[in-house]
Amino acid sequence: MSQTKNLIKSLKKMLRARDVTYSDIAKQLELSETSIKRMFSQSSFSLDRLNTICEMIEIDFVDLLRVFDDEQEKITHLSSAQEQELVSDIKFLIVALSVQNRWTFEEIITHYDISESECIRYLIKLDRLGIIQLLPNNKIRRMVAQDFQWLSGGPIESFFEQDIQTEFLHAKFIGTGEQRVYLSASLSNKSIDIFNKKLDILINEFSDMQNDDSKLPISSRQGVGLLLAFRPWESTVFQKMKRIP
C-alpha cells in the first residue's frame, strides 16, 4: 500500500471517529457523494480539498501528517505475557506509562526515583517489546498506534481495576478541575448507539489533547484520570422492587 493510501486511511479513521460521513464531505466540497467515494477509493485528492476536509474535523494538514506518522507500522496491543511483565515490576510499568504519555528520558528520571541506568535498562526492554525505538542520546520514538489499547480483561486492566480504580474513586471530586457525575435514564437502542459514538469522539478528543500538550514541559502539565463507564443496567435495589407478574 502506498504512502498516499496510508495517509487517506488515517484520515478516514479520524473522520469515522468524529462521525463525519461521505455525504457531509460532499456537501462541504459541493460534489456528489459518488465523486467523494471515488476520491477516497483512489486516494486522489488535491491539497486544497484535503485541507478543507481536515478543517471539517478541526485539524490542519500537519496534524493529519502527525497522526499518519504515529500509525505507521506501530503496535495496537501487547500480548498477555508482555502486559504481565510490565505489572510485575512497578518501575517498569511507570517507565512504560510515562513513555506512553510522551515523557522524555530526562523527565522520567527527574520526576521519579529511577536511576539513569535503570531507566535505560527499561527503555531497552520496551524497545525489544516494540513499544518504542530507543534512539541515540536516549531519545524515544513511540511505536504504539493512536488506537493502542490494553487487553480487555488482561493484566494491565486487572491491575488498574484492583489497585488504581478504588483509589481514584475514593474522593469527593469537589476540587478545581474535578468532576464526578452519575446519570441514569431509559434510552432506546438507537440512543444508546448514538451516545456510544459520542463517547468515542470524546475519547479521541482526550487523546488529541494529550498529544498536543505533550509538547509542553512537565512543569506545565499535571496527571489526570478519566474513567468512562456506560452500559444498559438497572440496580438490584430497583430490580427487587419490581412487581412479579
Q: Of 68-77, 170-179, 192-201, 206-215, which range is least confident?
A: 68-77
Task: Look at residue 152 and tell me if it is in a domain.
Answer: no
For residue 124, what pLDDT is reported?
96
Q: Of 57-71, 81-95, 140-154, 191-205, which range is least confident?
A: 57-71
- Range 71-93 average pLDDT: 89
Percent of the chain's residues with pLDDT above 70? 97
For residue 1, what pLDDT is reported?
47
For residue 86, what pLDDT is reported?
94
The answer on 131 and 89 residing in a single domain is yes
Rg (Cα) of the chain, in Å, rounded? 22
Tell me which residue range forms the domain holding 189.
Answer: 171-220
> How far are the Cα atoms of 32, 149, 182, 202 from residue 169, in angstroms, in the given order?
50, 22, 12, 20
The answer on 120 and 67 residing in a single domain is no
| Residue 240: pLDDT band with limits 50, 70, 90 | confident
> Can you tell me the distance from the alpha carbon of 65 to that of 138, in angstroms, rounded to the nearest whole number?
25
Task: Look at residue 233 and tell me if it is in a domain.
Answer: no
The string over 200-225, giving b where at least 16 C-beta atoms fall within 10 Å of a residue's C-beta and e elsewhere, is: eeeebeeebeeeeeeeeebeeeeeee
| Residue 230: pLDDT band with limits 50, 70, 90 | very high
Residues in the chain: 245
Q: Of 3-7, 20-24, 115-119, which range is least confident?
A: 3-7
Q: What's the structural domain count of the chain? A: 3
- 114, 147, 180 — which closes off a domain? 147
The answer on 7 and 47 residing in a single domain is yes
The answer on 92 and 66 residing in a single domain is no
